[in-house]
């Protein structure tokens, strides 16, 4: 099982953030992260073997258009990023359409930091920035990254803003956690002109 990291025993918070594909050996660590209160509050996933297979198995088998990526800090797993092209998921495009028109080629990301000790320390914006920078390279047709966030998730909204996103819309979307109201803020970052 891959190790986790804490500020006391892990790499420096200044260590490089890198992303790699999620592999089956990561599922035990992912299960732990998804069960922690600070992650479960916003991700609201079941953590049984069957649920992990349902939610992540297709990606592990290469049958899912989106990407499940492990964020590493100095080579140590610290989080998860999901990156996808919006138009690969037409039901999601339809759900957000009353709030915002998704531009052709747009990407989206979702993210979590597993160890609670690493939250609130500036790592979230770095993980988001790494996912976006890699996304621009991997998807040269991508024009923007558009990310909806539950309005109550202030930490996630702040992380996006620190990574250069701006809030472009607010409206109702089905929440990930049924305990939340359906209000969401939508953030956007356009491809830098220098990247063409």
Indicate the domain borders of the chain: 17-195
Task: Give pLDDT, residue 9.
Answer: 63
Question: 6 pLDDT exceeds 60?
Answer: no
Task: Give pLDDT, residue 196.
Answer: 63
Question: 3 pLDDT exceeds 50?
Answer: no
Q: How, if at all, do strands 183-190 and 166-172 pair?
A: antiparallel
- Greater confidence (22 vs 44) lies with 22
Instruction: Output DSSP code: residue 47.
Output: -
- Greater confidence (5 vs 82) lies with 82
Task: Give pLDDT, residue 13.
Answer: 86
Residue found by looking up tokens 């258009």 in the block: 65
Of 164, 187, 184, 168, the C-alpha closest to 176 is: 184
The string of pLDDT tens digits covering residues 132-149 is 999 999 999 999 999 999
Which option is the CATH number for 17-195: 3.30.70.360, 3.20.20.10, 3.40.630.30, 3.90.1150.10?
A: 3.40.630.30
Helix axes 123-138, 154-162, angle to 10 degrees: 60
The predicted model gives 168-190 an average pLDDT of 95
Confirm if 65 and 91 have CB atoms less than 8 A apart.
no
Q: 49-74: string of b/e by CB count within 10 Å (b at 16+)?
A: eeebeebbeebbeeeeebbbbbbbbe
Task: Give pLDDT, residue 193.
Answer: 84
């Amino acid at each position: 099982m891959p190790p986790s990291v804490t500020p006391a025993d892990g790499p420096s918070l200044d260590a490089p953030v890198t992303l790699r594909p999620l592999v089956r050996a990561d599922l035990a660590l992912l299960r732990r992260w998804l069960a922690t209160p600070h992650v479960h509050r916003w991700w609201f996933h079941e953590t049984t073997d069957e649920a992990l297979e349902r939610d992540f198995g297709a990606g592990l088998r290469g049958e899912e258009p989106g990407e499940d990526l492990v964020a590493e800090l100095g080579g140590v797993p610290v989080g998860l990023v999901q990156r996808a092209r919006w138009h690969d998921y037409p039901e999601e495009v339809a759900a957000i359409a009353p709030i915002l028109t998704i531009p052709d080629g747009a990407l989206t990301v979702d993210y979590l930091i597993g160890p609670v000790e690493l939250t609130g320390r500036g790592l979230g914006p770095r993980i988001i920035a790494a996912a976006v920078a890699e996304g621009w390279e991997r998807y040269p047709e991508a024009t923007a990254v558009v990310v909806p966030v539950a309005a109550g998730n202030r930490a996630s909204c702040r992380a996006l803003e620190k990574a250069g996103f701006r809030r472009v819309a607010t409206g109702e979307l089905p929440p990930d956690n049924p305990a939340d109201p359906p209000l969401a803020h939508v953030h956007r970052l356009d491809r830098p002109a220098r990247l063409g």
